[in-house]
Amino acid sequence: MRGGLIELASTGMWVPEKVLTNADLERMVDTTDEWITERTGIKERRIAGDDMTAVEMGYRAGKAAVADAGLEPADVDAIIVSTATPDRLLPATACDIQARLEARDAVAFDVWGACSGWLYAINIGSGLILSEQAETVLCVATEKMSAIVDWTDRATCVLFGDAAGATVLRRSGGNGHGILSTYMRSDGTLAELLYRSPLDSGSVPVDVAELAVRDGYLRMAGREVFKNAVRSMCEAVDAVLEKAGVTKDEIDLLVPHQANIRIIEATARYAGLSMDRVWVNVDRYGNTSSATIPVALHEAREAGRIEEGSLVLMVTFGAGLTWAGMLIRW
């Protein structure tokens, strides 16, 4: 197998300390620990306080990834941030993170790929390196999902949590390491299955009927998203393996988007992998949108489940709908 040209040189993550358990949710909406556990596999999630921003979370994860690569923020040429929960719409979250990092010589911008955004960011970052516009690219996913879920809607509020994760990209050192294949797709005709309602337009006089629907909260057709998630992640599995000329039994670890244990299990079954070859942390963090994969990668490395030479398959899906896959030799 041919090695990749670009490698993920490091990982970093940050999660808030505050834990919100299913028992806590039982006191907030009409739900039970049993329902949430059976339908989703989620037992608890982390919640950032009012004083914690998406910028600060992303800064902490990004700083950790830069340090893990043995670099200083000043060495970073580009910062690409994936977030569905920016603290403000202008400027890009990446610019605010750049300022916190004091990475003065970098270009910084965001990508909107929902849960697929971090893999999209890596693909864009790889392109910057290959086109010799950057040597070192920091890709951050930071998601304060607690700020956009409707805490009175039991169908969505039990699913999500807050987290940030990051990696540094650079040219691969060779020896077969790095990104072996990637795949990105989207289907905008399915946008209505999962979206944030528009924010209040600020019209004066205030239109009360408009305010009721323009709240910026997440809306989701759960069952339809579920079906499309399994279909699109299986498609991504096939696409990246075929592009790389790799068979399913060669995969050391599957690191899927963590939305629901049943979606993860269905994808693993399709990939022919027993669950001991799948990294699962949805039980501890819930769905943290585009942060799930970098957080999972970091934890898997820390646990010794990803070592030099490990063949790691990442697949994801999200609002858009978007979906993506990536195969790397660590």
Ligand X SMILES: CC(C)(COP(=O)(O)OP(=O)(O)OC[C@H]1O[C@@H](n2cnc3c(N)ncnc32)[C@H](O)[C@@H]1OP(=O)(O)O)[C@@H](O)C(=O)NCCC(=O)NCCS
Binding site for ligand X (CB under 6 A): 31, 35-36, 39-40, 115, 154-155, 158, 194, 220, 222-223, 225-226, 229, 259-260, 287, 318
115 is catalytic: yes
User: Catalytic: which of 139, 257, 260, 298?
Assistant: 257
The CB-of-260 to ligand X minimum distance in angstroms stands at: 4
Compute the distance between CA of residue 75 and CA of residue 71 in angstroms, rounded to an integer. 6
The CB-of-34 to ligand X minimum distance in angstroms stands at: 9
228 is catalytic: no
Q: Tokens 């989701």 — which residue?
A: 220
The CB-of-269 to ligand X minimum distance in angstroms stands at: 17
Q: How far is CA 12 from CA 9, 233, 274, 323, in A?
A: 11, 24, 27, 23
For ligand X, the closer CB: 155 or 213: 155
Strand-pair category, 44-46 with 19-21 = antiparallel
C-alpha gyration radius of the chain: 19
260 is catalytic: no
For ligand X, the closer CB: 62 or 318: 318
The CB-of-297 to ligand X minimum distance in angstroms stands at: 18
For ligand X, the closer CB: 79 or 314: 314
| Nearest residue to the partner ligand X, using Cβ | 222
Cβ neighbours of residue 29 closer than 8 Å, sequence gap 6 or more: 151, 152, 153, 154, 157, 158
Instruction: Tell me the residue ranges of DSSP E strands in 218-310.
Output: 218-220, 253-256
User: Catalytic: which of 115, 139, 157, 234?
Assistant: 115
Q: Under a CB-based contact definition with an 8 Å cutoff, are residues 159 and 42 in contact?
A: yes
The CB-of-275 to ligand X minimum distance in angstroms stands at: 18
The CB-of-279 to ligand X minimum distance in angstroms stands at: 17
Compute the distance between CA of residue 110 and CA of residue 102 in angstroms, rounded to an integer. 17
- The secondary structure of residue 212, as a DSSP letter, is H
Q: Under a CB-based contact definition with an 8 Å cutoff, are residues 142 and 295 in contact?
A: no
Cβ neighbours of residue 183 closer than 8 Å, sequence gap 6 or more: 236, 239, 240, 243, 324, 325, 326
Question: 3-class DSSP state for residue 297?
Answer: helix
Chain-centroid distance, C-alpha 143:
8
Tell me the catalytic residues.
115, 257, 287
